[in-house]
Copies of this chain bind each other. A is one copy, B any other.
Amino acid sequence: MSKIEMRLIELGITLPSPPLPVASYVPFVRSGNQIYVSGQVSMAPDGGIKGKLGELDIETGKSAARLCGLNLLAQLKMACDGDLDRLVRVVKLNGFVNVLSDFDAIPMVINGCSDLMVEVFGEAGKHARSAVGVANLPLGFAVEVDGIFEIK
């Protein structure tokens, strides 16, 4: 069993089934050594977390960002033909939080995704990121995160 698979088990993390490709865009594209993963929303088998931060509290927002992170990892695993040990580095995450216009604790929300990357990958999980508050997200989900990952 691969090192990262064992780490996921230690952490009690089961990756979701990656959402299937839809229409004209795909869940990820490889370019050189980089995997570009499409924006993953805070969707889960039970429906996931929808709504706007400011109505939702920060802890719920962090949980939503963690769901995005789990969906990113599920897509990344597909991109690595099932072997997450091929990850070299989480390069960049772009985090978008669905907010009321007076909610500004945006970094705390996106930490829910960032922390997951470091829990799973350690130093290789530390990434550059942006975090902004947007007017709405697909289907009203609370958080969306996309990412660039370097693999071997």
Contacts and interface: CB of A to CB of B under 8 A. Distances in A.
Contact of A133 (B38, B128, B134): B134
Contacts of A89: 29, 31
A100 B104 CA distance: 14
Interface string A86-128: 0001111110100111111111000100110110000001111
How many copies of this chain does the complex contain? Answer: 3
Interface of A: 22-29, 31-34, 36-39, 52, 89-94, 96, 99-107, 111, 114-115, 117-118, 125-140, 144, 146, 148, 150
24 contacts: A22-B107, A23-B111, A24-B115, A25-B93, A25-B126, A25-B128, A25-B129, A26-B128, A29-B126, A32-B33, A36-B91, A38-B130, A39-B131, A96-B130, A96-B132, A101-B135, A104-B138, A106-B136, A107-B139, A132-B134, A133-B135, A133-B136, A133-B137, A135-B135
